[in-house]
Amino acid sequence: MAREKVTSLKDVAGVAGVSVTTVSRLLNGSLELPHETRTRIEQAIRDLNYQPNPHARRLSRGRSDTIGLVVPDIANPFFATLVAAVEEEADSRGLAVSLYATLNRPGREIAYLQLIDRNHVDGLIFVTNHPDDGQLASLINRSGKVVVVDEDVPGARAPKLFCDNRQGGYLAGKHLVEHGHRDVLFIGGPDEMISSRRRFSGLEHAVREGFDADARLIKYAGDYTVGFGREAAKRFIADVKPATAIFASSDEIVIGLMEVFRSEGVSIPEDVSVLGFDDVGPLHLFAPSMTAIRQPVRAIGQRAVSLLLETNWQETDASSREELLPVEIIVRKSVAPPAKR
For residues 146 and 169, state if they share a domain: no
Count other C-beta atoms under 10 Å from residue 191's C-beta.
Answer: 12
Using a pLDDT cut of 90, give the percent of the chain over it.
57
CATH number for 37: 1.10.260
User: pTM score, two decimals?
Assistant: 0.80
Q: Is residue 195 part of a domain?
A: yes
For residues 159 and 302, state if they share a domain: yes
For residues 286 and 192, state if they share a domain: yes
For residues 308 and 195, state if they share a domain: no
For residues 85 and 101, state if they share a domain: yes
The DSSP symbol for 283 reads: G
Q: Is residue 209 part of a domain?
A: yes
Structurally, how many domains does the chain consist of? 3
- Give the per-residue pLDDT at 1: 44
* Averaged pLDDT score across all residues of the chain: 88
**pLDDT confidence tier of residue 219, bands split at 50, 70 and 90:** very high
For residues 183 and 252, state if they share a domain: yes
For residues 173 and 247, state if they share a domain: yes
Asked whether residue 59 carries a pLDDT value surpassing 50, the answer given is no
167 vs 198: CA distance, rounded Å: 8
Q: What is the pLDDT of residues 129-146, one digit of tens each?
A: 888 888 899 988 888 789
Question: Going edge to edge, which strands form the sheet with 183-188?
Answer: 216-221, 183-188, 245-248, 273-278, 291-294, 328-330
The DSSP symbol for 210 reads: H
237 vs 161: CA distance, rounded Å: 37
User: In a 10 Å sphere around its CB, with 0-12 CB exposed, 13-18 middle and 19+ buried, how is residue 248 labelled?
Assistant: buried
Q: Is residue 341 part of a domain?
A: no
Q: Is residue 335 part of a domain?
A: no
Q: What is the pLDDT of residues 117-126, one digit of tens each?
A: 666 788 899 9
Q: Which residues contact 309 (CB under 8 A, 6 or more apart)?
A: 93, 123
In 3D space, the residue among 160, 122, 194, 171 whose CA is nearest the CA of residue 322 turns out to be: 160
Domain-terminating residue out of 277, 295, 313: 295
For residues 103 and 175, state if they share a domain: no
CATH number for 273: 3.40.50.2300
For residues 172 and 291, state if they share a domain: yes
For residues 171 and 285, state if they share a domain: yes
Q: For residue 126, give Cα distances in angstroms to 102, 152, 285.
A: 10, 10, 31
Top mean-pLDDT range of 28-32, 212-216, 325-329: 325-329
For residues 49 and 86, state if they share a domain: no
**pLDDT confidence tier of residue 280, bands split at 50, 70 and 90:** very high
Give percent helix, percent strand, percent coil of the chain, each to the nearest 5.
45, 15, 40
For residues 271 and 174, state if they share a domain: yes
Q: Is residue 4 part of a domain?
A: no
Chain centroid to CA 264: 34
Count other C-beta atoms under 10 Å from residue 13's C-beta.
Answer: 18
Query: Whole domain around residue 31: which residue ranges?
Result: 9-60
Count other C-beta atoms under 10 Å from residue 32's C-beta.
Answer: 8
Q: Is residue 2 part of a domain?
A: no
Q: Is residue 31 part of a domain?
A: yes
Q: Is residue 329 part of a domain?
A: no
202 vs 292: CA distance, rounded Å: 15
